[in-house]
Structure 1
Amino acid sequence: MTVRAFRGEIVSVPHDPLTDPQAVRHDPDGMLVVEDGIIIDRGAYAALAPRYGDVPVDMLPGLIVPGFIDAHIHYPQMDRIASHGEQLLDWLDRHIFPAEKAFADRAHADHVAGLFLDELLRNGTTSALVFPTVHAHSVDALFEAALDRNMRIISGKVLMDLGPDGLADTVDSARAQSDALIRYWRGKARLGYAVTPRFALTSSEEQLQAAGQLLVDHPDVLMHTHLAENERECAEVAARFTQAADYLDAYDRFGLVGDRSVFAHGIHLSDRACARMHESGAGVAVCPTSNLFLGSGFFDFTQAARHGLKLGLGTDVGAGTSFSMLHTAGVAYQAGLMRGHRLDPFRALHLATAGSAALLHIADKVGGLMPGQEADFVVLNPAATPLLARRTAGADLAERLFALQILGDDRAIASTYVMGERAAC
């Protein structure tokens, strides 16, 4: 057994500050004790050091926070980040679907998957819920690359039998390939599976029904899709699913709304849909940079709080404009203000860590830097740039966190640790 310790200023937000006034855990001079990749103790250095006198201690200058957890991102879209000129549906046709067709080549998928995961680690993201493509081997490529890096990654073959030529599967192939992938990858290392219909418009009713059956057959997997992102998209869903009460109901009719369902965006939600999500235990991955970039709108944090929705934070690259969860948290604050909500910096950190972990059903494993959890953490440098250094000098913890979220990016990531080992990124 290998035991090592890390000393520095430690902060995590294991619970939602919106509902728990004691949510923030802060150790100004703290110590994390890690055994074989698992945190076995945490607290003030002065209190813990005598107990672990023979354990080597690494000094980590900066601010130690949990590894970021990206609740919604597309790895095949990384090369189309910053693609100009369209809102959602036209953007997909013009930029994204052509890029995803290239993943028919397994070698291309392998190459991009490795670059993608390295970019996550470089930005301090150690866990993520990831969209691949319709190609089954795009999942294999991502999972194999994640195994090499010991990352906690959840993904699943995209289902889209109404997709364009070169990206359309069938009801039968989607069901068979998804089932085979689940059975092959289930329980391997730190990997998880998600049944992944792209969105309501790219699947037939028969395929949505098959997706629901996969969830029945494999109750341990997640369900991951898009919901109420763009007004034109919402209108087209309403025109097609005329019997549905709203967009969420178009999924609910096929058994796709449950406590393991993760819906990206959720900008244009009815109160009925919010109430149903709360009742079911489903939640939303908020994607502020993507919502702004595609002109989709601003997530309503006030409505979500009123209904008690589970929330996480996602970059949604490639519509999202940065892999940085710090930057994404900063834009979430700005987007919230557009609807009158002032996102607290501690809650923003919660959403980017433990909140996303709860949404992805991995909160027992990561997100809080608590004993028993895996030792995924990031060291932030509040003086990474001259402006950050000036803004954070003498600032209290809340001000430093907020400055990092507004002014920070990959440059503020001093180091990333996965299971207690520094990542090579």
Structure 2
Amino acid sequence: MRHFLLVVALFTFLTSTSVLAKTVAFKASILHFKSNPALASTLEDSYEYFQDGILIIKDGKVHKVGSASELSTALKNIDVVDYSGKLIIPGFIDTHIHYPQTEMIAAFGEQLLDWLKKYTFPTEKQFADKAYAKKISNVFLHQMLSNGTTSALIFGTVHPQSVNVLFEQAYDKNMRIIAGKVMMDRNAPEYLQDTALSSYNDSKRLIKDWHNKGRLHYAITPRFAPTSTPEQLEQAGKLKKEFPDTWVHTHLSENKGEIAWVKELFPDRKSYTDVYDFYNLTSSRSIFAHSIHLDDEEIQTLAKTKSSIAFCPTSNLFLGSGLFKLKTAREAGIRVGLGTDVGAGTSFSMLETLNEAYKIIQLQNQKFSAFEGFYLATLGGAESLSLDDSIGNFLNNKEADFIVMDWAGTPFQEYRMSKASSLHEKLFVLMMLGDNRNIHATYVMGEEVFNRNMKHPVMDLINNQN
């Protein structure tokens, strides 16, 4: 009996430590970024590309990456997954998205403020029902993963249960996400309003339950200044002071009518940005979605406080909000990530989002290379979320979130790729013509969480309605 107990104890010890760490290698073309190509002294310094590459994962983290010829000796006694002919890149990072708006994507015909009243608020009302929230969050996370997005900064609704179920499911998938309960105590339907005190208490409870649990993080989430009283923004600032390693996630200067409204509601503040700065909501972990119509002083405030911006091109075009000034933000030293902003955004696909980003920059007579695009969708997103110590590229010991991509997802893409003569041209074609059909598989911490043969959970929702 004593011998049996010793064997059990030894087995438990071995399986709970890295002694039995799982090591696996992936063979494919491999691309990742080390810095922003738009700021690098030479383009070649900003990225690594291995046409015949090997990515070695040990216990869910990057162990080695390089060319097959250099790493061939390291492959002895290691399982190799052969994705030859495909491209492996770090998982996409979405810096602004609303999971409760999944079902209302592509809602017709309004600009921001009317769109919120007509579509968004009635849709978000349903998330008072935890079972309903669970169904939608399941579809939402699958939709993200099937588009190659492995991390995101996510809006819930005003209901704490909407965030609880999202965190529960993301935890089960071992995803690194940041999310938060919306704080909203005025200028919204009564059925979606909380109070300054209840939003503080609910958010604090969620922080204690979920922040830094596994790969999960919490974002203090006032919807935007017009839907929060000064008292609620004070409570949001109080939370940030009590939990300084949390994030702040909100909207800023998306729409000119919205900006005028903020001026009426906060007449003592110099600007929309100054509202957030006054209530201590600007910081190195504060992400402001959109930030289209900023004056010079606002740009300086974001730069000085080391705040970040989420650039949401499909949403900005869909709602007619305006053209984000990427070059201005970059020159000011402001970190910028890419956001799909579903459901005003029209796609979960970061490839399709990059397609629209290119057009927004073109309309300002500026250049936006495919290298900068894929940087923004990966390492740039990680940097803007202050997560680049963990994710965003394939440096040693980073968490192994990555995508296996088909260079061509359709016969026409294959034809167009056959005419591409350089890496940049191939990436640009992928950026302009690509979508979810190019995602072959998605991995989180070295484990496959999506492949194109998986059943989509939205079918269960459709079948249950019929």
Q: TM-score, normalised by structure 2?
A: 0.90
Q: 1:301 touches 1:341 (CA, 8 Å); kept in 2?
A: no
Report the secondary structure of 2:143's partner residue: helix
Q: Are residue 147 (structure 1) and residue 165 (structure 2) matched?
A: no
Q: Are residue 97 (structure 1) and residue 117 (structure 2) matched?
A: no
From 416, 423, 427, the counterpart of 1:401: 427
**Range moving further from structure 2, 183-192 or 113-122:** 183-192
RMSD: 1.0
Aligned to 2:99: 75
TM-superposed CA distance for 1:14, in Å, is: 2.9
Aligned to 1:416: 442
Aligned to 2:182: 158
The aligned amino acid for 2:126 is A
Report the secondary structure of 2:50's partner residue: strand
The aligned amino acid for 2:426 is R
From 30, 46, 58, the counterpart of 2:69: 46
From 293, 299, 312, the counterpart of 2:318: 293
Q: 2:101 touches 2:120 (CA, 8 Å); kept in 1?
A: yes
Structure 1 segments (4+ residues) deviating >4 Å: none
Residue identity over aligned pairs, in percent, reads 46
**Range moving further from structure 2, 300-309 or 229-238:** 300-309
Q: Which has the larger radius of gyration?
A: 2
TM-superposed CA distance for 1:394, in Å, is: 4.9
Aligned to 2:341: 316
Size of the alignment, in residue pairs? 425
Higher-RCO chain (CA-CA 8 Å, sequence separation at least 6):
1
The aligned amino acid for 1:26 is Y
From 99, 108, 113, the counterpart of 1:84: 108
Aligned to 1:259: 284
Report the secondary structure of 1:46's partner residue: helix
Q: 2:308 touches 2:385 (CA, 8 Å); kept in 1?
A: no
| Deviation digits for residues 85-109 of structure 1 (CA, Å, limit 9, x no counterpart) | 1000000000000000000000000
Report the secondary structure of 2:212's partner residue: coil
Q: How do 1:8-407 residues align onto structure 2 when only pairs under 5 Å count?
A: 8-20=28-40, 21=42, 22-60=45-83, 61-162=85-186, 163-395=188-420, 396-407=422-433
Q: TM-score, normalised by structure 1?
A: 0.98
Provide the C-alpha distance between the structure 1 equivalents of 2:407 and 2:284, rounded to a whole number of angstroms: 37
The aligned amino acid for 2:424 is A
Q: 1:134 touches 1:157 (CA, 8 Å); kept in 2?
A: yes
Provide the C-alpha distance between the structure 2 equivalents of 1:360 and 1:76, rounded to a whole number of angstroms: 21
The aligned amino acid for 2:439 is I
Instruction: List runs of 5+ in structure 2 lacking aligned partners.
Output: 1-20, 455-466
Report the secondary structure of 2:276's partner residue: helix
Instruction: List runs of 5+ in structure 1 lacking aligned partners.
Output: none
TM-superposed CA distance for 1:246, in Å, is: 1.3
TM-superposed CA distance for 1:361, in Å, is: 1.4
